[in-house]
Structure 1
Amino acid sequence: MPDTIIPSSGVLVGRAKLPGHAYPRIVTIRDGGVFDITSRNAPTVRDIAELDNPASYVAGAPGARCGDASQIIENSWSENYDPELPALLSPIDLQAVKASGVTFVASLLERVIEEQAKGDKARADSLREDVLKLIGADLSKIVPGSPAAMQVKEALIARGVWSQYLEVGIGPDAEIFSKGQPMSTVGFGADVGLHPISSWNNPEPEIVLVISSTGRIVGATLGNDVNLRDVEGRSALLLGKAKDNNASGSVGPFVRLFDSDFTIETVKSAELSMRVEGEDGFVLDGHSNMAKISRTPESLVEATIGRHHQYPDGLVLYLGTMFAPVKDRDGPGKGFTHKMNDVVSISTPSLGTLSNRVRLSTECAPWTYGASHLLRDLAKADLL
């Protein structure tokens, strides 16, 4: 097990499938082991996020050792999974799964290119040069919604290059959308899914905030907001089809809870690394620095939850990515798209590494265990 999969410090909480239990168990990491801390006080990760001090609760919760973290991580890979052994699941449960888009200039420009290309990846390279000439790459200096941003908007409209993506990239309102339903995300080692109709797609490495029902940010984890560039590029009204498919969002490996050593400021300065490794020998490396985000994480949370919109079970929020792969894979001008069995690894020292294998959504394990199943099982176990 690479040392980077689990951060070397911090209070971690997650979920695991344990033999002998029909429902996910709440777990934490202690001294290289995975400990089951499921209790009537907090039988779900949602319940832990609602506590006054989630990190203190998890750090002090009594628990039973389930096994070595390295062995459980190994068994969490879909191709290695043995149901007689523990395996990690997505570390969130009843929370709504939301995402923010176009929060970095690099991804903003690529969204404009997708729109102009109308989903045709063959046109992307030539359009990229044209769009950069018209828009420029200095939009990172503009505060979204500011008077300066509105002046740029008027100038771009006059030049005929205004876009719906520029509207949410530098306009007053952030793009917030539903990535998936509660309980729909997959965790470390699981397969992530691409809709079979897509032929131009990519991973999106992101930090994911965990937020209570009051709007308080209580922790963070890693996420892959799998993206279908051709589908969304044809029409922004196809965002749901592009983003919400079976196994199309991964989260993990654990949620790191905020404490004196890990805060929102840590998130704001995080450097994400991503690697795609294909069976064809192709390797793609990328980096995403949270310091380059155009809207603060706090402002994105405020745009999502407040008096205008409540989430009684809390939510998780993908913060967006600056990573838009353009490296040619199958020859000059071919650009990047996934191939089956690509392995995507997203990492940052404070949160560890989230790794998943890419398959078609139709070939990933079907999503059959939802909120109703969890609540029934917890009631049967006298945990509610």
Structure 2
Amino acid sequence: MGAVSFDPGAHLPPDWRAATLLGRVDFGEGPSPVLVRDGVVHDMSRVAPTVSMLVEAGATDPSAGRAVGQLDALGLSPAAGPAPRLLSPVDFQCVKACGVTFAVSAVERVIEERARGDAGAALSLRARLEEQVGGSIRSVVPGSDEAAALKAALIAEGLWSQYLEVAIGPDAEVFTKAPVLSTVGWGDEIGVRSDSTWNNPEPEVVLLVDPRGNAVGATLGNDVNLRDFEGRSALLLGKAKDNNASCSLGPFVRLFDEGFTIDDVRGAELSLLIEGEDGYRLQGASSMREISRDPLELVRQTLSEHQYPDGFALFLGTLFAPTQDRDEPGRGFTHKRGDLVIIKSGKLGVLVNRVTTSRDARPWTDGIAAAVRQLAARGLVGA
């Protein structure tokens, strides 16, 4: 993406000036938490030195910070560009994700498992499973008596899978997507493993949750998935999901207020556009109205036996499961280096990333120790 500037008119929702936006910007000294309201960017680093601390304190009044200027006049660039740089909007929060929260994604995960990661073997499996499972799985409530009856029927037919268990069983799939401070933001390169041959983006709504378990806002995310790795074995989920630059968030977190609530998340419509340097073009969509579990139920399950003292970001899953062929018939879709991935949602804006390999993406070098040293050098925390 080079040094292309962030354009609020193109990359934020139409009502962005009426929204309260939370993010991170590097003005040249290191990452600072910022709040944007009425179009003005406020550096909040003297109020709270990190986004996680700002959220913990409930500090959503930008007037307590230092006004920097109008957002549309700052010329924000991606993380690899010149300052000021727009970064991923989270820092010390744990990054969690829920999988198989939509019926279509459940069917596709079963296909991955049965095909053992072979995209060519997936075509006939897809037809059989959609015929046997597709309609019935959409109509049941996870964990209900009807879901248990469907499970028994599918076991009898030899079609049961661990993925259907988390799709309609009582327990959601919740996993750790990325280490603290490793996520990339708007305009940055996003990575897939160099040895993966079947992979795709996963456009998702991501909730930001404070240490007390309250969802305080939402942003867009790309939960990059390696279908070949996870399809070979569910025990390879870590390698399928957590690689350098494999998790993007942004451009900002939109905080909940009178103009944006959890009901807007429940009703969110996401669109996806992939444009390849080879001329390939793929469009897709994901509707939160079709999610099997309520977003706040996913938050509850994430917190059921765990605490998150710095809060967490929670990917809510996706309906998008690309099957459109890219090269050979029956081989489905997979990324190629240089693909431009554009994720849009009306109330959250636009997240843009270009695909490279995790090996060639910008290395992740600034971890927790480096962040603490940097904050101390700026006088934002005690040395």
**Band the TM-score falls in, shorter-chain normalisation:** over 0.9
Taking the aligned partners of 1:218 and 1:32, their CA distance within structure 2 comes to: 20
Taking the aligned partners of 1:373 and 1:6, their CA distance within structure 2 comes to: 31
Structure 2 counterpart of 1:27, which letter?
A: V
| CA drift at 1:361 | 0.2
Residue range with higher mean Cα deviation, 24-33 or 323-332: 24-33
Partner of 1:246: 244
**The one of 365, 370, 373 aligned to 1:376:** 373
Please state whether the residue corresponding to 2:23 is helix, strand or coil.
Answer: strand
Taking the aligned partners of 2:303 and 2:196, their CA distance within structure 1 comes to: 32
**The one of 109, 112, 117 aligned to 2:110:** 112
Taking the aligned partners of 2:75 and 2:186, their CA distance within structure 1 comes to: 11
Partner of 1:282: 280
**The one of 315, 320, 323 aligned to 1:326:** 323
Structure 2 counterpart of 1:47, which letter?
A: M
1:172-211 equivalence runs, <5 A: 172-211=170-209
Are the counterparts in 2 of residues 194 and 228 from structure 1 also a CA contact under 8 Å? Answer: yes
Taking the aligned partners of 1:381 and 1:71, their CA distance within structure 2 comes to: 22
Taking the aligned partners of 2:209 and 2:260, their CA distance within structure 1 comes to: 15
Residue 56 of structure 2 is aligned to residue 47 of structure 1: no
Taking the aligned partners of 1:379 and 1:92, their CA distance within structure 2 comes to: 19
Are the counterparts in 2 of residues 34 and 69 from structure 1 also a CA contact under 8 Å? Answer: no
Partner of 1:76: 78
Are the counterparts in 2 of residues 227 and 243 from structure 1 also a CA contact under 8 Å? Answer: yes
Taking the aligned partners of 2:73 and 2:322, their CA distance within structure 1 comes to: 31
Q: Do the aligned partners of residues 274 and 146 (structure 1) sit closer, same or farther apart at CA in structure 2, a change above 3 Å counting?
A: same
Partner of 1:355: 352
Residue range with higher mean Cα deviation, 346-355 or 237-246: 346-355
Partner of 1:138: 136
Residue 45 of structure 2 is aligned to residue 38 of structure 1: yes
| CA drift at 1:43 | 1.2
**The one of 309, 312, 315 aligned to 1:315:** 312
| CA drift at 1:283 | 1.1
Partner of 1:98: 96
| Runs of 4 or more consecutive aligned structure 1 residues displaced over 6 Å after TM superposition | none
Structure 1 counterpart of 2:313, which letter?
A: V
Residue range with higher mean Cα deviation, 176-185 or 42-51: 42-51
Taking the aligned partners of 1:328 and 1:77, their CA distance within structure 2 comes to: 33
Partner of 1:224: 222
Partner of 1:261: 259
Residue 22 of structure 2 is aligned to residue 16 of structure 1: no
Are the counterparts in 2 of residues 36 and 66 from structure 1 also a CA contact under 8 Å? Answer: no
Please state whether the residue corresponding to 1:382 is helix, strand or coil.
Answer: coil
Structure 1 counterpart of 2:270, which letter?
A: L
Are the counterparts in 1 of residues 183 and 247 from structure 2 also a CA contact under 8 Å? Answer: yes
Residue 335 of structure 2 is aligned to residue 338 of structure 1: yes
| CA drift at 1:66 | 5.6
| CA drift at 1:138 | 3.0
Please state whether the residue corresponding to 2:355 is helix, strand or coil.
Answer: strand
| CA drift at 1:231 | 0.3
**The one of 64, 67, 74 aligned to 2:67:** 64
Deviation string, structure 1 residues 64-120 (Cα, Å, up to 9, x no partner): 3267536634x2174xx23xx311010000000100000001111100111110000
| CA drift at 1:133 | 2.3
Deviation string, structure 1 residues 151-198 (Cα, Å, up to 9, x no partner): 000111111110000000000100000001110100000000001110
Partner of 2:3: none
Taking the aligned partners of 1:43 and 1:257, their CA distance within structure 2 comes to: 18
Q: Do the aligned partners of residues 369 and 69 (structure 1) sit closer, same or farther apart at CA in structure 2, a change above 3 Å counting?
A: farther
Please state whether the residue corresponding to 1:50 is helix, strand or coil.
Answer: helix
Please state whether the residue corresponding to 2:107 is helix, strand or coil.
Answer: helix
Please state whether the residue corresponding to 1:99 is helix, strand or coil.
Answer: strand
Return 5+ residue gaps in structure 1 as ranges. Answer: none
Please state whether the residue corresponding to 1:133 is helix, strand or coil.
Answer: helix
Please state whether the residue corresponding to 1:26 is helix, strand or coil.
Answer: strand
Are the counterparts in 2 of residues 186 and 251 from structure 1 also a CA contact under 8 Å? Answer: yes
Please state whether the residue corresponding to 1:139 is helix, strand or coil.
Answer: helix
Are the counterparts in 2 of residues 45 and 91 from structure 1 also a CA contact under 8 Å? Answer: yes
Taking the aligned partners of 1:218 and 1:343, their CA distance within structure 2 comes to: 30
Return 5+ residue gaps in structure 2 as ranges. Answer: 1-6
Are the counterparts in 1 of residues 33 and 51 from structure 2 also a CA contact under 8 Å? Answer: yes
